[in-house]
A and B are shown apart, each in its own frame.
Chain A
Amino acid sequence: MQVIDLAETTLRDMNAALQAQNGSTNQTAWQILNPRGAHALAVGLDAPLDVTVAGPTGYYCAGMNARATVRVAGSVGPGVAENMMSGTVIVEGDASQYAGATGHGGLLVIHGNAASRCGISMKGIDIVVHGNIGHMSAFMAQKGHLVVCGDAGEALGDSIYEAQLFVRGSVKSLGADCIEKEMRPEHLTALAKLLESAGSDADPAGFRRYGSARRLYHFDIDNAY
């Protein structure tokens, strides 16, 4: 276990040390102490590391992650796992706005609640939120899955493309072109797998599925004039 204490090491040196593991390394377990809400912690990783951040973080924690597993023992500020490519990011507390924004792949698990714009413009990432999500979540979501064990705020999935949304609780309102869709066996199978990988024992049968009505993003000749 490698330990970096941010009371002694600068943020830049800490990120550089983690990024230096990109390629082949046998130093896979890392612990970051005293994060004290710092921004851009453990960003740009591209190695199969297992990083634990011991406390709350600021903006953009684990941004652009590839292959690494980053666990935050606390809450995170805006933009956690923004543009993640692969790997896993686990937040034990709450996440602020735009968690997992534009993510291309990997798994983001939030054990608490996520604020507004969770999964905005997601492009293939899987996001599982054990609690609730705020308004405008999955706005323009293109690909991937957003699973919400609690409730969703206003305008869920506004202008959504092909991402799949699963919500167990209430949805305050659906955004433009987002509709409830039939939950078919393949969806239940995919959902069960996501819940299991996120450590949730929620029953997939208790969820509803939402997605695109596909009326908004096809060119409609009747709209030309």
Chain B
Amino acid sequence: MCGIVGLFLKDARLQPELGGLLTDMLVTMTDRGPDSAGIAIYGPGRPGRAKLTVQSDDMAAFDGLQARLAAATGTDVSITRKDTHAVIEAPRDAAPDLRAALPAGLRVMSAGERIEIYKEVGLPRDVARRFAVPEMSGTHGIGHTRMATESAVTTMGAHPFSTGPDQCLVHNGSLSNHNALRRRLRRDGVHIETENDTEVGAAYLTWRMGQGATLGGALEQGLRDLDGFYTFVVGTADGFGVLRDPIACKPAVMAETERYVAFGSEYRALVNLPDIARARIWEPEPATVYFWSH
């Protein structure tokens, strides 16, 4: 199973409610997967500042981190702690040094200028509360609640997976050619952290976009190269995409109004959105790329 939700706001006045709306949608999908949960939020960002979300189970890993990174990069580094995660911000030019200076115990959840990813083992309600997701604002976000099939139930096995700057992907389904594809991508120098099938899907799209493809183009090429079952929801710095495999047995419902575009594994996830009764509701077609951007 697994449950996926996504929300792309067209009306800026809804931005302060993004975290709250997305959390409500994801909590409704809890019974599609109780193993782990995660949310990616695209916030406003700050001009010229890079953003890194890191995680550690060992709280001591955060001690003295700000001073250590500031010294290593020689720049102004700020850190915002949230439970097992922390968001590190630094000047954009210092981003490579920042990453190189991270202590070994810290795991990178996401990198970019706008994205923040929070994910842990546990139920959506608990994960959202631990990271105060309902209070977060932003332009778009995606969430996932996992019923694990292809790899272990761990923080790193939780969705969303981020394999490129401000990119992330959530997945309902299972890829069957992920081992071969992982080997191929690694030969091409792509960094893949886990044995999870979805991470390979995310890395594949990052790799295609690195070669110059748009997200839409990368998804089209994925139809040929990714074998298995999938409903994907993908986030980029300014956009949000949806793709279902040609068999399309993994469910998907979409809603669009003048104020937002929303995705849910089931209609239930959408019922509390503003003016949902007047939204255009439809099921995305198999093997068809959908994409919205600001």
Contacts of A134 in B (CB 8 A): 248, 286
- Interface Cβ pair total, 8 Å cutoff: 43
**B 264-294 binary contact with A (CB < 8 Å = 1; else 0):** 0011111100000000011100100000000
Cα–Cα distance between A97 and B249 once the two chains are bound (Å): 8
B248 touches A58 (CB 8 A): no
Q: Does A56 contact B (CB under 8 A)?
A: yes
- Asked if B16 CB lies within 8 Å of chain A CBs, one says no
A contact face: mostly helix, strand, loop, or mixed:
loop
Complex A-B: 8 CB contacts under 8 Å: A37-B266, A56-B281, A58-B266, A75-B281, A77-B253, A77-B267, A135-B248, A135-B286
Q: Is the CB of A77 within 8 A of B271?
A: no
Those of A82-97 within 8 Å (CB) of chain B: 93-94, 96-97
CA distance A93 to B270 in the complex (A): 17
Chain B nearest CB, measured from A93 CB (Å)? 8
Query: Which residues of A lie under 8 Å from residue B281 when comparing CB positions?
Result: 56, 75, 93
Contacts of A75 in B (CB 8 A): 267, 281
Interface 1/0 per residue, A91-121 and B, CB below 8 Å: 0011011000000000000000001100000
Contact partners of A97 in chain B: CB under 8 A: 248-249, 251
Considering only residues 37-69 of chain A, those with a C-beta below 8 Å from chain B are 37-38, 56-59
Closest chain A residue to B248 by CB distance? A116
Residue from A36, A94, A96 within 8 A of B268 (CB atoms): A36
Q: Which of A36, A38, A115 contacts B283 (CB 8 A)?
A: A115
Interface residues of B (CB under 8 A from A): 246-249, 251, 253, 266-271, 281-283, 286
Please give, as numbers and ranges, the residues of chain B lying within 8 Å of A59 by CB-CB distance: 266
Contacts of A96 in B (CB 8 A): 251, 253, 283
Q: Is the interface of B mostly helix, strand, loop or mixed?
A: loop
In whole Å, how far is A171's beta carbon from the nearest beta carbon of chain B?
Answer: 17
CA distance A181 to B249 in the complex (A): 30
Chain A residues closer than 8 Å to B270, beta-carbon distance: 37
User: Which residues on B sit within 8 Å (CB–CB) of A58?
Assistant: 266-268
Q: What's the minimum C-beta distance from B193 to chain A, rounded to whole angstroms?
A: 34
Cα of A116 to Cα of B249 in the assembled complex, Å: 8
Chain B: minimal CB distance from A172 (Å): 12
Contact assessment for A78 and B251 in the assembled complex, using a CB-CB cutoff below 8 Å = yes
Option from A36, A77, A94, A116 in Cβ contact (under 8 Å) with B282:
A94
| Nearest Cβ on chain A to B151's Cβ, whole angstroms | 27
Q: Which residues of B contact A36 (CB under 8 A)?
A: 268, 271
Q: How far is the CB of B172 from chain A (nearest CB, A)?
A: 13
> For B246, B248, B249, B268, which residue has the most chain A Cβ atoms within 10 angstroms?
B268
Asked if B286 and A37 make an inter-chain contact with CB atoms under 8 angstroms apart, the answer reads no
Nearest B residue to A113 by beta-carbon distance?
A: B283
CA distance A57 to B281 in the complex (A): 12
Q: Which residues in B have their C-beta under 8 angstroms from that of A115?
A: 248, 283
Q: Looking across the interface, which residue of chain B has its beta carbon closest to that of A76?
A: B267
Contact A116 B266 (CB under 8 A): no
Complex interface: chain B residues within 8 A of A94 (CB): 282-283
A37 and B271 form a contact (CB under 8 A): yes
CB-CB nearest 5 A-B residue pairs: A37-B267, A37-B268, A36-B271, A56-B267, A115-B283
In whole angstroms, what is the CA distance A116 to B248 when docked? 8
A95's nearest neighbour on chain B, judged by CB, is B283
Q: Is the CB of B286 within 8 A of A116?
A: yes
In the complex, A59 Cα to B269 Cα: how many Å? Answer: 13
- Pairwise interchain contact B266-A77, C-beta atoms closer than 8 A: yes
Cα distance A135–B268 in the bound complex, in angstroms: 25
Known: A94-B283, A134-B286. A38 touches B251 (CB 8 A): no
